[in-house]
C-alpha cells in the first residue's frame, strides 16, 4: 500500500465534495433546483443501497430507533440540506456556498450543547462559535437596510442548509440507534430523494422543464456517481482509518476546490471577504475542537504516513 494512500484519498474526497458546488451551479442552468437535488439522490441512493447490501451486516434498518435515525437523516441531512443548498446556489458563487457550508461542524457543536447532555462548551469554545458566525457575516456582507435583497437571501438559504445538516447529525447521534453508517446513508438518500420529489411537485417543477444538454448530463452524473457515490465510499474508508475528528477537516479543504473549479469552469472570482470568512470559520473550528485535534494529531500523522493505528 502506498505511503501516501490516506493523504491521497483525503485530497480526492475534498476535491469531489468541493467541486460538487461548481457542478451544482453549472447544472442549475438546466434543472429546476429541488428536482435537480432529488434526481441526484435517486441515482446515488440506489448505488449506496447496493453497496450496503454488499458490505453491511444488515442492509435494511430494523426497529423504531433505526428507522427514526433514517427518517431524521432523510428529512434534515438529505432533503432539507440539499433543497436549501440547491436553491441558494442560484444566487451565490460556488466558493461562497462552500465556505458557508463549512460552518456545519461549528453549528453541530451548538446543537450538541443543547441536545447531548455530555456536551460542554468552554469560553474558548464559545469564542470559536462566535468566530464562525463572524465568518458567515463576512461572506454574506449583509446590508442592515436591505437584509431581504436578492444578494443576501441566497446566502441565508445556504446557511439554512448548514443548519439542517448540523441539526440532523446531532439528532441522529442523540437517538443512538446503532444502525450501520452504510445502511443509514443509503436509506436516508432514498428517503430524502422521495421527500424532495414531493417538495418539487409542490413548487410546480417538472421533468418537462429540464433543458437536456451536455452540461445537464455531466453535472447530474458527476454529482450522483462522483460526489455522492464515490465520495461516500471514500468517506467510509477514511472514517474507519482516520476517525471523525479528522474527517471534519474535509469541510475546510473543500472550499479551496470549490473556489478553484468555480474559477476554472464558471469564471467565478473569489473576493477578499469570502477568504476572510473562510479563515474565521476555520479558526472557530480549531478553537472548538482544539483538545480533540491535539489528541488526534499523532494518529493523523501515523495514518497519513501509512502506519497502522
Q: CA-CA distance, 221 to 228, in Å (whole number)?
A: 10
DSSP state of 209: G
| pLDDT exceeds 50 at position 309 | no
Q: How far is 190 from 232, CA to CA, in rounded Å?
A: 15
Please name which of 22, 35, 78 lies closest in space to residue 223, comparing C-alpha atoms: 22
- Please check the confidence at residue 1 and state whether its pLDDT lies above 60: no
User: Would you state the cell numbers that stand for residue 87, as one nine-digit string?
Assistant: 436553491
**Number of Cβ atoms within 10 Å of the Cβ of 230:** 17
For residues 1 and 87, the model is more confident at 87
Cα dist from 164 to 84, 206, 232, whole Å: 9, 25, 19
Give the mean pLDDT of 8-22: 92
pLDDT, tens digit, for every residue of 123-157? 787 788 788 878 877 876 666 555 555 568 898 99
Between CA 157 and CA 137 the distance in angstroms is 14
Q: Is 27 or 102 the better-scoring residue by pLDDT?
A: 27
Closest CA to 181 of 59, 54, 77, 300: 59
First and final C-alpha spacing in the chain: 15
Q: Supply the pLDDT for residue 113.
A: 76
CA distance 96 to 270: 8
Query: What single DSSP character describes residue 3?
Result: T
Q: Which residue has the cell 443543547?
A: 114
More confident residue, 121 or 38: 38
**Average pLDDT value for residue range 196-211:** 96
pLDDT score, position 117: 63
Question: What is the pLDDT, as a whole number, of residue 150?
Answer: 59
Q: What pLDDT does residue 19 have?
A: 96
The reported pTM is 0.86
What's the pLDDT tens digit per position in 43-88? 999 999 999 999 999 999 999 999 999 999 999 999 999 999 999 9
Q: Could you tell me the residue ranges of all domains in the chain?
A: 5-304
Sign of CA dihedral 78, 45, 184, 293: negative
Q: Which of 190-204, 225-239, 256-270, 279-293 has the lowest mean pLDDT?
A: 279-293
CA distance 200 to 41: 13
Q: What percent of the chain has pLDDT over 90?
A: 51
C-alpha closest to that of 82 among 187, 194, 5: 194
Amino acid at each position: 500500500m502506498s505511503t501516501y494512500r490516506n493523504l491521497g484519498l483525503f485530497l480526492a474526497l475534498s476535491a469531489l465534495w468541493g467541486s460538487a458546488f461548481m457542478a451544482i451551479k453549472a447544472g442549475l442552468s438546466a434543472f429546476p433546483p429541488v428536482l435537480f437535488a432529488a434526481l441526484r439522490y435517486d441515482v446515488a441512493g440506489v448505488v449506496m443501497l447496493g453497496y450496503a447490501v454488499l458490505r453491511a451486516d444488515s442492509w435494511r434498518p430494523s426497529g423504531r430507533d433505526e428507522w427514526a435515525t433514517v427518517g431524521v437523516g432523510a428529512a434534515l441531512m438529505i432533503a432539507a440540506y440539499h433543497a436549501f443548498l440547491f436553491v441558494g446556489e442560484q444566487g451565490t458563487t460556488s466558493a461562497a456556498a462552500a465556505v458557508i457550508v463549512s460552518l456545519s461542524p461549528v453549528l453541530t457543536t451548538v446543537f450538541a450543547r443543547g441536545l447531548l447532555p455530555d456536551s460542554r462548551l468552554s469560553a474558548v469554545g464559545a469564542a470559536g462559535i462566535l468566530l464562525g458566525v463572524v465568518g458567515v457575516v463576512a461572506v454574506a456582507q449583509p446590508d442592515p437596510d436591505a437584509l431581504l435583497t436578492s444578494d443576501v437571501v441566497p446566502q441565508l438559504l445556504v446557511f439554512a442548509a448548514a443548519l439542517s445538516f448540523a441539526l440532523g447529525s446531532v439528532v441522529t447521534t442523540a437517538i443512538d440507534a446503532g444502525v450501520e453508517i452504510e445502511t443509514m446513508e443509503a436509506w436516508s438518500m432514498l428517503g430524502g430523494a422521495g421527500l424532495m420529489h414531493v417538495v418539487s411537485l409542490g413548487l410546480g417543477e417538472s421533468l418537462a422543464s429540464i433543458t437536456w444538454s451536455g452540461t445537464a448530463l455531466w453535472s447530474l452524473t458527476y454529482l450522483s456517481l462522483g460526489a455522492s457515490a464515490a465520495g461516500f465510499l471514500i468517506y467510509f474508508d477514511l472514517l474507519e482509518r482516520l476517525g471523525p475528528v479528522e474527517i471534519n477537516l474535509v469541510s475546510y479543504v473543500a472550499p479551496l476546490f470549490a473556489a478553484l473549479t468555480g474559477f476554472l469552469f464558471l469564471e467565478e472570482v473569489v473576493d477578499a471577504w469570502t477568504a476572510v470568512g473562510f479563515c474565521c470559520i476555520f479558526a472557530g473550528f480549531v478553537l472548538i475542537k482544539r483538545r480533540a485535534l491535539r489528541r488526534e494529531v499523532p494518529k493523523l500523522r501515523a495514518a497519513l504516513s501509512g502506519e497502522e493505528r
